[in-house]
């Protein structure tokens, strides 16, 4: 019982010493703490530790089982990596907040009862708010305030749910919660708010882009993933989560297509990726739960790496709008490579981490005969590839060279990225390294021919799509309106609306009438006019022209029938072949990458033919 | 491993060619720039010596047996192809005498590189192991990469070489990947052992399909079949014209030989798996090559697309399968070497001084000014279009018959239709030459090498057209050895 040391306690209590240490020793200490926490996770055994009595209840601070170890494992690893990445920050408070935040996430992972859970839950909210505030800009301050308000409401829901639950069951133990009833509903709302499930997830893309560079990396790792952990623990198999997860995956991806702020785009990706996990929890089979845990594990690594990459760009250039960036890969090639490794991971490219975990979830959906879920998740993975791995790096690193002064970020940032990148590849190549950590025994092989062919096709066709529509997909100066609009502007709008309600109703009705009915009518009539003009007349014209060609043949009835008709037909065929030829000639662009792409596309077409026929 | 006398005997022709190439690299130092034709003459002599030994081997007991632990075989099939390759190489060398002076690339390496490529091609025709095939195909391609970029001052030529080498590396990777799959499935790369292993239906896994597709793609690149053809028009247009001819007749024929051997020997048990894939590539090549050729203004580029179309015909022979299919491909490749190199010798003849002679409109009214040349061009164009009584007609006819005998009437119909489309752009040149008046005065080069090459090509084109029986019998005997 005594040989267990809570890794969260190491971080939280250890952070007190930070301000008192001088220069170099402090840096070493900053790395020592997460290393100790990691060693503690590595050496711990399953069991129940640090239990105590309170209000006649058993409180368990240390419930150690396979599920909590997986999450603790990745939480402590990512704390170390992110600390390396953020080592240059000269702000003791920032480091302390980060440690408290990471420690609380570990606390959530080991919490055996709801009270402990709520305490660490609130710790997480406040310490992560500090990571936003330490950006020390006006926008960050506002975003941080909104962030904490949302999380306090979530925490209140959770607490209310827990108390209701306690009044019914007289137990605070944190175990599976039966869905149905107000108590479970409130607890679920508390959890899914932290998991950023829409419509409760708008805080995430609101706050993360305003956080400090390394703060955002921490935030990408802990809040949503600890909520995923809580959902696995409490609501595995709840069908509502399946649909919420699917919606979430799509919702996130749609916003990424239009988003311009590089870190906000990545924030929407978190939503989309957590959608996979939430959907997997909703499926609830052993394989799905394994998939959710594994995906959380790898997602923390590559999502952190993505944030590190874009954070480096922000750190070096001070710019965070994709439209203001471009052509900087020459100046920061290492950052670019690391970012792309993360991009390949998140898109599920074989041999990278995402492939071996995402496919688990998708396969679980397939095995449970949920074809639509399967299809949507597969398509979302194409969208992920499109926006994170093709569009964003294209706009940021490649694209038009805007002559931005850029250089590689400091060595510690590069090292942090390199560590995360190594892990992404390690897990991609040796998935069993991860699989043996998972809560259930894994009987899943990611590298089968079908999987590889399927993944290759999705990626290549997405690439093709990107290639063809590159111009259209280019980032634009946009503001994406999300549900946070309601608590940002909604209140104001509501006040105005209420004030002018009497006068307003009249104008709204007439406006609506004007817009909907009159405009629609005009549009319909214009359309039918155009249809009439274009299509019907066109057909008649065409017929007329044909007749005028053929007419003389029949009317003159002379011997030229043969020469006119036969030659005409032959010439017509020849003419169309010639025009076909000149349009096909355009395939030959002269660009070598087009040619190589044609070879790949040809390979794929043949593969498809083969699999269609067999 | 100890090699016996038989092993050494079997590779004498290859050894002669490769040895001569090495030796000529040294001899080249002793020869003044004006007299580089001596290197060419010695190269041709080396090819003749190799041809002599190939002929000599036919009667000996070296034939038909695998040597070098199953990696190499001298059989009728390879001997037939080797003669096509000797022919293509010698004709291309003869075409070059004039051209290299005109372009000021008159160096000895030019010919030695061709010899090196020839040695690779010969091994590709004889190799009976996937790995020796791969090495041979590389040996044949790498000198050609250099030759394509031989016009150092011409940006087109440099660009063509660059594209060719990069895409070539890419496709080699694909090919090798396919080979590794085959090895992974069957545990061997020796073709007859592969066939033996694949006779077991439990070997027919999805991985085998992937392997087949990779092999089709890798070889498809080498023979410029659609959709792996993209390099060909650029490379053909940019390369020195004799090299363009050489590429379309030599390496292409050698790669066809390798494809035939791999698919009809090694992968025969999986025929039902690869036939559809090969048929698709064949049809795509036919359609694409013949249609896009119409839109070309540069005659070299047009012939590049036409050669893509011709690959389609050759692959149809492979699809037909069996002895008849194989021998139809062999016959076709021989015919193609004659008629295509003939057409290229006319193009080279048009290259004189400032006149490039590469645009189709340059041929306007040629019949009025150069009657003999126009007549020869007409023969080659008719043959490429597949009109009787030329060799091109017999070649296509033989392939169509092989297809029909196998009951693949649909494919035969597509092929006939496409040869009608193809006739359009060949005959357009004939029309331009005969029906229009000349616009610009035409100058033509005169070179003994060109005349000899033209005479051989024209004779071959006509002979194989009017008296095909003997040659078809040769091809059947040779094809029966597969």
Of A449, A606, A614, the CB nearest to B280: A606
Question: A interface mutation test: which of B177, B212, B230, B301 has the most A CBs within 10 A?
Answer: B230
CB atoms within 10 A of CB B38: 16
Q: Which two tokens stand for residue A437?
A: 């950590």
Instruction: Give me chain A's average pLDDT, please.
Output: 82
Closest CA to B454 of B375, B393, B391, B367: B375
Among the partner-chain residues B162, B277, B295, the one whose CB lies closest to the CB of A582 is B295
Neighbour count for residue A125 (Cβ, 10 Å): 20
Mutation choice for A interface testing from B206, B224, B283 by most A CBs within 10 A? B206
Selected residues 217-236 of chain B with any CB under 8 Å from a CB in chain A? 217, 220-221, 226-228, 230-231, 233-234
Question: What is the 3 state secondary structure string of A484-526?
Answer: HHHHHHHHHHHHHHHHCHHHHHHHHHHHHHHHHHHHHHHHHHH
Q: Select the residue of B162, B280, B288 nearest A609 (Cβ to Cβ).
A: B280
User: Closest approach of chain B CAs to the CA of A446, in angstroms?
Assistant: 15
Interface test with chain B among A448, A464, A610, A614, by most B beta carbons within 10 Å: A610
Task: Find the domain containing B313 and state its range.
Answer: 5-479
CB-based contact B246:B89 (threshold 8 Å): yes
Residue of B nearest to A609 (CA): B277
Q: Categorise residue A235: left if φ over 0, alpha if ψ from -120 to 50, beta otherwise.
A: alpha
Query: Smallest Cβ distance to B277: which of A450, A577, A610?
Result: A610
**In the 8-state DSSP scheme, what is residue B228?**
S
C-alpha B166/C-alpha B156 separation (Å) is: 16
CB contact under 8 A, B166 and A614: no
Using pLDDT thresholds of 50, 70 and 90, give the confidence band for residue A509. Answer: low
The continuous run of DSSP H or E covering A571 comes out as: helix A567-584
What is the per-residue pLDDT across A245-266, written as a single tens digit (0 to 9) for each? 999 998 888 888 778 888 888 9
C-alpha distances (whole Å) from B318 to each of A85, B194, B216, B256, B332 are: 59, 19, 12, 9, 12
Q: Rounded to a whole number, what is the distance in Å from the CA of B439 to chain A's nearest CA?
A: 24
A526-549 per-position pLDDT tens digit: 665 555 555 555 554 554 444 444
Cβ distance of B213 and A607 shorter than 8 Å:
yes
Whether residue A473 has pLDDT greater than 70 = no
For B29, the enclosing helix (H) or strand (E) is helix B12-30
Residue-level pLDDT at A537? 52
Residue A57: strand pairing partners: A54
Chain A residue numbers touching B206 (CB-CB < 8 A): 449-450, 453
Q: How is residue B128 written in tokens?
A: 């009976």
Number of residue pairs across A and B with CB atoms under 8 Å?
Answer: 90
Q: How far apart are CA B19 and CA B13, in angstroms?
A: 10
Query: Which of B205, B226, B292 comes nearest A585 by C-beta?
Result: B292
CA angle A441, A51, A117 (to 5 degrees): 70
Q: In chain B, whose CA is at the least distance from the CA of A571?
A: B424
End-to-end CA distance of chain B: 27
Of residues A592, A609, A614, nearest to B167 (C-beta): A592
Asked if B421 is an interface residue toward chain A (Cβ–Cβ < 8 A), one would say yes
CA distance A222 to A206: 16
> What pLDDT, on a 0 to 100 scale, did the predictor assign at position B88?
95
Q: Which residue of chain B comes nearest to A613, CA vs CA?
A: B276
Task: Residue A592: list chain B partners with CB under 8 A.
Answer: 162-163, 166-167
Given an 8 Å threshold on Cβ–Cβ distance, is B227 in contact with A599? yes
| CB proximity B69 to A under 8 Å | no
For A102, A426, A516, B46, B126, the CA distances from B115, given in Å and listed in that order, are 69, 48, 79, 9, 17
Is the link from the previous residue into A320 a cis peptide, with omega within 30 of 0?
Answer: no
Q: Is B281 part of the contact surface with chain A (CB cutoff 8 Å)?
A: yes
Considering only CB atoms, which chain A residues are within 8 Å of B231?
Answer: 595
pLDDT at residue A258 in the model: 77
Name the maximum alpha-carbon separation found in chain A. 113
Kindly list the distances between the CA atom of residue A25 and the CA atoms of A19, A83, A142, A298, B275, in Å, as whole numbers in the listed order: 11, 15, 35, 32, 70
**B405-438 as b/e, with b when 16 or more CB fall inside 10 Å?**
ebebeebbebbeebbebbbbbbeebbebbbeeeb
Give the pLDDT mean for A393-416.
85
pLDDT, residue B44, reads 94
Tokens of B125: 């025709």
The reply to whether residue A584 touches residue B288, judged by beta carbons under 8 angstroms, is yes
Q: Which of A587, A592, A609 sits opposite B166 (nearest CB)?
A: A592
Q: In whole angstroms, what is the distance from residue B103 CA to residue A231 CA?
A: 76
Number of domains within chain B: 1
Please check whether residue B311 is in contact with residue B252, taking contact to mean a CB–CB distance below 8 angstroms: yes
- Closest Cβ opposite residue B234 in set A590, A598, A599: A590
* Predicted pLDDT of residue B58: 87
Q: Looking at chain A, which residue has its C-alpha nearest residue B274?
A: A610
Instruction: Report the alpha-carbon distance of residue B371 to residue A417 in Å, rounded.
Output: 73
pLDDT, tens only, A9-21: 999 999 988 888 8
Q: How far apart are CA A497 and CA A602, in angstroms?
A: 59
Of B227, B295, B424, the CB nearest to A602: B227
Least confident of A331-340, A467-476, B24-33, B406-415: A467-476
In this prediction, residue B20 carries a pLDDT of: 95
Residues A449, B206: C-beta atoms closer than 8 Å: yes
Q: Is-contact B393 B386, C-beta < 8 A?
A: yes
pLDDT by residue (tens digit) across A360-380?
A: 888 888 888 888 888 888 888
Residues of chain B with pLDDT under 70: 1-2
CA dihedral A357, A359, A364, A368 (to 10 degrees): 170
CB A456 within 8 A of CB A604: yes
- B306 contact A CB<8A: no
Q: Strands A57-64, B66-67: parallel, antiparallel or unpaired by DSSP? A: unpaired
CB contact under 8 A, B294 and A603: no
Mean pLDDT for all residues in chain B: 90
pLDDT at A252: 87
Is pLDDT at A213 greater than 80 in this prediction?
yes
pLDDT at residue A422, rounded to an integer? 94
Omega cis (within 30) before A199: yes
Contacts of B296 in chain A (CB under 8 A): 585
Give the whole-angstrom CA distance, residue A462 versus residue A386.
6
**Calpha distance B314→B320 (Å, rounded):** 10
What digits encode the pLDDT tens for the residues A143-169? 888 888 889 888 888 988 998 888 888
Phi-psi label, residue A348: left if phi above 0, alpha if psi -120 to 50, beta otherwise: left
Chain A: residues touching B (Cβ < 8 Å):
449-450, 453, 574, 577-578, 580-582, 584-585, 587-588, 590, 592, 594-596, 598-599, 601-603, 605-607, 609-611, 613-614
On chain B, the residues whose CB falls within 8 A of the CB of A602 are 217, 220, 226-228
Q: Residue A578 and residue B294: Cβ atoms within 8 Å?
A: yes
Taking CB atoms and an 8 Å limit, are A606 and B206 in contact across chains?
Answer: no
Partners of A48 in the beta sheet? A63
Would you give the distance in Å from CA A277 to the centre of its chain?
11
Report the distance separating Cα A286 and Cα A289, nearest Å.
5
Closest to A236 measured CA to CA, from A194, A191, A199: A191
Q: Which of A281, A259, A278 is nearest to A268 (CA)?
A: A259
Q: Which residues on A lie below 8 Å from B167 (Cβ)?
A: 592, 595-596, 599
CA distance A344 to A425: 10
Please report the pLDDT score of residue A506 as a whole number. 47
B220 interaction partners in chain A (CB closer than 8 Å): 602
Whole-number Å distance between alpha carbons of B440 and B442: 6
> Sorting pLDDT into bands at 50, 70 and 90, what band is A585?
low
What region does B353 belong to: left with phi over 0, alpha with psi -120 to 50, or beta?
Answer: left
pLDDT surpassing 60 at residue A503: no
Nearest to A76 by CA among A2, A29, A121, A10: A10
Distances (CA, A) of A144 to A103, A108, A150, A310, A518: 20, 22, 10, 20, 46
pLDDT at A520 over 80: no
Nearest to A581 among B209, B234, B294 (CB): B294
Tens-digit pLDDT profile for residues A46-67 = 888 888 887 777 888 889 999 9
């Amino acid at each position: 019982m005594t040989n267990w040391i809570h890794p969260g306690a190491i971080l939280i209590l250890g952070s007190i010493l930070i301000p008192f240490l001088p220069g170099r020793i402090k840096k070493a200490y900053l790395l020592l703490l997460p290393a100790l926490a990691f060693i503690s996770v590595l050496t711990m055994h399953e069991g129940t530790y640090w239990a105590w009595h309170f209000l006649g209840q058993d409180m368990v601070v240390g419930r150690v089982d396979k599920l909590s170890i997986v999450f603790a494992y990745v939480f402590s690893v990512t704390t170390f990596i992110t600390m390396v990445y953020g080592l240059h920050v000269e702000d003791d408070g920032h480091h302390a907040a980060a440690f408290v935040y990471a420690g609380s996430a570990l606390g959530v992972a080991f919490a055996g009862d709801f009270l402990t859970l709520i305490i660490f839950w609130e710790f997480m909210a406040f310490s992560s708010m500090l990571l936003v505030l330490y950006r020390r800009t006006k926008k960050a301050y506002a975003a941080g305030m909104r962030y904490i308000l949302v999380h306090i409401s979530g925490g209140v829901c959770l607490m209310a749910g827990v108390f209701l639950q306690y009044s019914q069951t007289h137990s605070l133990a944190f175990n599976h919660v039966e869905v149905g009833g107000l108590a479970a509903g409130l607890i679920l709302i508390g959890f899914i708010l932290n998991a950023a499930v829409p419509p409760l997830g708008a805080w995430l893309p609101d706050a993360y882009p305003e956080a400090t560079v390394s703060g955002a990396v921490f935030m990408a790792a802990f809040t949503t993933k600890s909520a995923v952990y809580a959902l696995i623990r409490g609501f595995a198999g709840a069908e509502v989560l399946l649909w919420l997860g699917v919606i979430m995956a799509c919702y996130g991806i749609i916003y990424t297509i239009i988003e311009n702020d590089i870190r906000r785009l990545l924030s929407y990706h978190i939503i989309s990726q957590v959608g996979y996990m939430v959907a997997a929890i909703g499926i609830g089979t052993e394989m799905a739960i394994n998939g959710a845990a594994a995906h959380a594990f790898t997602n923390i690594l590559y999502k952190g790496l993505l944030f590190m990459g874009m954070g480096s760009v922000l750190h070096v250039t001070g710019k965070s709008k994709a439209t203001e960036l471009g052509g900087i890969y020459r100046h920061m090639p290492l950052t670019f490579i690391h970012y792309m490794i993360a991009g390949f991971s998140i898109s599920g490219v074989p041999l990278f981490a995402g492939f071996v975990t995402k496919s688990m979830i998708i396969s679980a959906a397939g095995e449970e005969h949920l074809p639509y879920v399967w299809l949507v998740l597969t398509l979302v993975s194409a969208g992920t590839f499109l926006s994170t791995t093709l569009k964003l790096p294209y706009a940021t690193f490649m694209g038009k060279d805007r002559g931005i002064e850029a250089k590689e970020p400091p060595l510690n940032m590069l090292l942090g990225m390199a560590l995360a990148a190594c892990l992404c590849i390690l897990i991609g190549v040796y998935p069993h390294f991860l699989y043996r950590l998972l809560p259930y025994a894994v009987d899943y092989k990611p590298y089968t021919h079908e999987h590889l062919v399927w993944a290759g096709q999705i990626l290549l066709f997405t690439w093709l799509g990107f290639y063809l529509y590159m111009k259209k997909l280019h980032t634009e100066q946009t503001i994406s309106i999300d549900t946070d609009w309601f608590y940002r502007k909604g209140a104001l709008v509501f006040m105005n609306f209420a004030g002018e309600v009497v006068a307003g109703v009249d104008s709204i009705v007439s406006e609506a009438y004007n817009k909907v009915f009159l405009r629609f009518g005009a549009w319909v009539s214009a359309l039918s006019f155009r249809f009439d003009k274009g299509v019907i007349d066109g057909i008649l014209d065409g017929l007329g022209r044909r007749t005028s060609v053929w007419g003389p043949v029949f009317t003159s009835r002379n011997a030229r029938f043969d020469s006119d008709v036969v030659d005409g037909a032959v010439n017509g065929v020849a003419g169309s072949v010639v025009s076909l030829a000149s349009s096909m000639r355009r395939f030959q662009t002269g660009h070598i990458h087009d040619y190589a792409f044609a070879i790949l596309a040809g390979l794929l077409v043949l593969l498809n033919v083969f699999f269609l026929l067999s | 491993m100890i090699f016996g006398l038989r092993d050494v005997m079997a590779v004498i022709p290859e050894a002669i060619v490769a040895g001569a190439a090495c030796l000529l690299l040294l001899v080249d130092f002793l020869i003044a720039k004006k007299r580089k034709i001596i290197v060419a003459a010695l190269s041709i002599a080396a090819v003749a010596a190799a041809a002599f030994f190939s002929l000599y081997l036919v009667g000996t007991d070296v034939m038909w047996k695998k040597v070098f632990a199953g990696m190499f075989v001298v059989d009728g099939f390879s001997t037939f192809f080797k003669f096509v390759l000797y022919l293509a190489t010698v004709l291309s060398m003869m075409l070059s005498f004039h051209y290299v002076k005109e372009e000021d690339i008159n160096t000895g390496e030019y010919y030695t590189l061709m010899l090196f490529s020839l040695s690779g091609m010969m091994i590709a025709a004889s190799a009976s192991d996937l790995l020796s095939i791969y090495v041979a195909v590389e040996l044949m391609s790498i000198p050609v990469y250099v030759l394509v970029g031989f016009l150092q001052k011409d940006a087109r030529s440099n660009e063509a070489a660059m594209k060719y080498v990069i895409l070539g590396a890419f496709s080699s990777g694909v090919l090798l990947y396919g080979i590794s799959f085959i090895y992974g499935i069957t545990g061997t790369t020796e073709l007859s052992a592969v066939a033996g292993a694949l006779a077991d239906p439990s070997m027919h896994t999805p991985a085998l399909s992937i392997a087949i597709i990779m092999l089709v793609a890798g070889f498809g690149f080498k023979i410029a079949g659609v959709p792996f053809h993209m390099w060909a028009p650029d490379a053909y247009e940019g390369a020195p014209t004799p090299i363009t001819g050489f590429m379309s007749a030599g390496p292409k024929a050698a790669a066809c030989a390798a494809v035939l051997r791999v698919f009809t020997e090694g992968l025969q048990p999986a025929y039902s798996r690869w036939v559809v894939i090969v048929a698709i590539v064949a049809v795509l090549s036919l359609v694409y090559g013949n249609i896009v050729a119409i839109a070309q203004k540069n005659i070299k580029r047009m012939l590049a697309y036409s050669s893509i179309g011709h690959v389609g015909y050759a692959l149809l022979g492979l699809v037909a399968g069996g002895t008849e299919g194989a021998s139809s491909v062999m016959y076709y490749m021989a015919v193609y070497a004659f008629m295509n190199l003939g057409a290229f010798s006319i193009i080279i003849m048009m290259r004189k001084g400032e006149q490039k002679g590469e645009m189709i409109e340059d041929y306007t009214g040629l019949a009025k000014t150069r009657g003999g040349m126009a007549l020869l061009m007409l023969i080659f164009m008719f043959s490429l279009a597949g009109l009787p009584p030329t060799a091109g007609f017999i070649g296509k006819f033989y392939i169509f018959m092989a297809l029909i005998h196998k009951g693949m009437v649909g494919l035969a119909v597509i092929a006939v239709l496409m040869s009608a489309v193809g006739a359009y752009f060949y005959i357009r040149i004939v029309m331009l030459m005969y029906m229009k008046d000349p616009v610009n005065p035409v100058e033509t080069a005169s070179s003994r090498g060109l005349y000899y090459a033209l005479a051989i090509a024209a004779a071959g084109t006509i002979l194989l057209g009017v008296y095909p029986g003997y040659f078809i019998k040769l091809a059947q005997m040779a094809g029966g050895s597969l």
